[in-house]
Amino acid sequence: MKKKGLYGFLKLFHEQAQVAGWPVVEITRATIKNGYHLPHVDFVTKVRQCRCCGSALHVQKSKKRIVSTMETGTIQVREIRKVCSADSFHPVETSGILAQMVPAGQRYGYDLIVAVGMARYLRNMQRQEIRAELLREKNVSGN
């Protein structure tokens, strides 16, 4: 991983940890999934009040998934979705930062999608070559 990418990820990780209210010990935790140790990051919306009526928000649900990007490598994310406490039909608030990194419900980040497309069509690389290069240079695994 490039130093800039790793630094950006760590900065993002600490910001999200503070928003989630984690103590310092909790920031360093990791989860185990299929024998791999993956960093675990919670993405919580920064919005505190409903955009429609101004009421407080409460957690509706959380969704976990494994995400791969060029900048962060492979990480496990938990998106914490919040909804208006006064009217559950108001829009659900989600993390804008996660939405900028990865398409909704997807595993691969925008930066990784672009890098694979460029390698495939501009450098005429085969899928196996791209996969090997990503694993070797960026520690990104995928299909």
Give the strand pairing for 30-33 and 36-44. antiparallel
Residue type, 35: G
Per the structure block, which two tokens stand in for 135? 């694993």
> Across all residues in the chain, what is the average pLDDT?
80
CA 76 to chain centre: 7
Query: pLDDT tens across 27-49, in order?
Result: 544 434 445 567 888 898 888 89
132: DSSP letter: H
Q: Is residue 120 scored above 80 in pLDDT? A: yes
Per-residue pLDDT band for 71 (boundaries 50, 70, 90) equals: confident
What percent of the chain has pLDDT above 70? Answer: 75
Vertex 32 angle, CA 109 and 100, to 5°? 20
DSSP H helices, the chain, are 3-20, 24-27, 96-101, 110-121, 127-138
Confidence (pLDDT) at 105 = 86
